[in-house]
Amino acid sequence: MISVKKTVFYAEVLKELNYPYATVFIFKGFIVVEVNEGIEYTWDNHGKPIADDVACYLGTDGKDLIYISNRIHSYSVVAQDWLKFFRSNYKLKEYYVVSATPKGKFNLIFENLFFYKKIKNFTSLKEAIELAKSSAVKVF
């Protein structure tokens, strides 16, 4: 697994947001989030600050954005916190997960129970970004 920073796509990043728990790369029509090792990712402590900052920067509630979770580190997600995301009036066009581990695929199945659309799984960041770019809508 590879970070966005080590790919040709890094040159296309519009804005990079750095947090103590994750890095967010904002592109035209999609974002890539890389959560740090060992984090227990929750809506209140992690997701909400990211969603608020991305919404502020792009001026969108997310309905026209694709979220790519590039799972290059081992961490856990409180899957039921997706319900808090949706109750906060945020939306997503699509949600992609890039993970090559069996544990990551198991976590994805559980997470999909709380997400309102089908989560697309990829083993390659390149494939996820290429699909996002072909599906993205300009949000500016």
Nearest to 3 by CA among 66, 65, 73, 53: 73
pLDDT for the residue 113: 60
Q: At residue 22, does pLDDT exceed 80? A: yes
User: According to the model, what pLDDT value does residue 107 have?
Assistant: 62
* Rounded distance between C-alpha atoms, residue 3 and residue 50, angstroms: 18
Domains of the chain and any CATH numbers: 4-135 (3.30.750.24)
Across-strand partners of 41?
77
What are the CA-CA distances from residue 25 to residues 13, 32, 114, 139 (Å)?
6, 5, 24, 15
Answer whether residue 4 shows pLDDT above 60: yes
Lookup result for tokens 């402590």: 45
- Separation in Å, CA 9 to CA 25, 93, 129: 10, 21, 8
pLDDT at 63: 87
Q: pLDDT tens digits for 97-133?
A: 998 765 556 566 656 666 667 888 899 999 999 999 9
pLDDT tens digits, residue range 41-69?
999 999 999 999 999 999 988 889 999 99
Write out pLDDT tens, residues 69-89: 999 998 888 888 878 887 888
